[in-house]
Amino acid sequence: MLSKVIPEEKIIATLKAINKADKIVIVTHKSPDGDAIGSSLGLYHFLYSQEKATDIVVPDTIPDYLKGLPSVSEIAVHSEDPERAEKLVAEAQLLFCLDFNTPSRTGALAQLVTQSGARKILIDHHTDPDNFADVCISHPELCSTSELIFRLICRMGYFSEMTLESAHCICAGILTDTGGLAYNSNSPKLYTIMGELLGKGVDKDLLYRQLFNTYSEQRMRLMGYFLSQKMEVLPEYQTAVTAMSAEELRRFNYQPGDIEGFVNLPLSISGIRFSVFMREHNDSIKISLRSVGDIPCNRIAAELFNGGGHKNASGGESQLGLEETKQILIQALPRYFKH
């Protein structure tokens, strides 16, 4: 038996909102990852099975490794078809906000989301959600938004009706946000959930391969370049820093998703507990931070790069040059790491 995590009144409010709405839209964050798409599709397939007209809208491109998920091609991508995406959000009566804690994470959709008159239900596992939703289901102690979707469907009383498609997408979100159950995945309850998903017929082994081991040749070469040429190891701070320019990414014919997970690689070096990967992206520098143990990535991201996230996985941005951004980090390291 799973213990009750989501408060009862929020389950009732969600159920009521679903029953009342004719047009439901699910939105998730920019640069959508496996949990963003997995949780959105998990909820989409559930609502669909209940004959609720539902659409998913994402701000920008869905990476290739997620393209095998059922009904992914139905998703409205704002950067590819802004008219359709904006119309769907504008006409929604109920807006599910999945896997983000502040509307600005939805990029070009942020204003529409904020101004929408639809009832809003936030379902997320990032800390400190903004107060913009009518129902706020925020649980940073859980591994993924997908886990929350599973719990929500069960608590609403629909576990027995959960389809294989829904279970498959939820499983994809859990696997991607835990690196294939490698981190953020010590909770015994998570394995109860995984057991239930497998019971629905999910082929976890195949899904794992589709998510983690079907990369392009160019991604593998870029990874080799990242590790052999670009990664700088600073053992005195148990840190690795990697910076890549837009020109370098272009040289490897970079496609969205190609660098997914790269920031984790240096953490496999014995003694390295903090990894930062910065790269040029659309006239600014996008920064990913990962740590093991007590190193607070979110605090460092907030203090240095106007960002945030989870303790062990955060991100931020810089408007300075690549080298300057790197120096800001390197010069700040003594503050965070006592010798």
Which residues in this chain contact ligand 5GP in the complex, by CB under 6 A? 126, 288, 307-310, 313-317
Q: Could you tell which of ligand 5GP, Mn ion, none binds residue 165, using a CB distance below 5 to 8 A set by kind?
A: none
Question: Shortest distance, CB of residue 315 to ligand 5GP, whole angstroms?
Answer: 2
Question: Shortest distance, CB of residue 125 to Mn ion, whole angstroms?
Answer: 6
CA 127 vs CA 170, 228, 292, 310: distances in Å: 21, 35, 18, 7
User: φ and ψ at 226, to 5 degrees?
Assistant: -55, -50
Question: Shortest distance, CB of residue 107 to ligand 5GP, whole angstroms?
Answer: 10
Reduced 3-state DSSP string for 270-314: CCCCEEEEEEEECCEEEEEEEECCCCCHHHHHHHHHCCEECCCEE
Q: Could you tell which of Mn ion, ligand 5GP, none binds residue 54, using a CB distance below 5 to 8 A set by kind?
A: none
Q: Could you tell which of Mn ion, ligand 5GP, none binds residue 288, using a CB distance below 5 to 8 A set by kind?
A: ligand 5GP
Give the residue with the Cβ less far from ligand 5GP, 42 or 316: 316
Give the residue with the Cβ less far from ligand 5GP, 200 or 303: 303
Give the residue with the Cβ less far from ligand 5GP, 105 or 155: 105
Give the residue with the Cβ less far from Mn ion, 165 or 177: 177
Judging by beta carbons within 10 Å of its beta carbon (0-12, 13-18, 19+), is residue 166 exposed, middle or buried?
buried
200 CA to centre of own chain = 24
Q: Which residues pair with 65 in a beta bridge?
A: none
Q: Could you tell which of ligand 5GP, Mn ion, none binds residue 177, using a CB distance below 5 to 8 A set by kind?
A: Mn ion
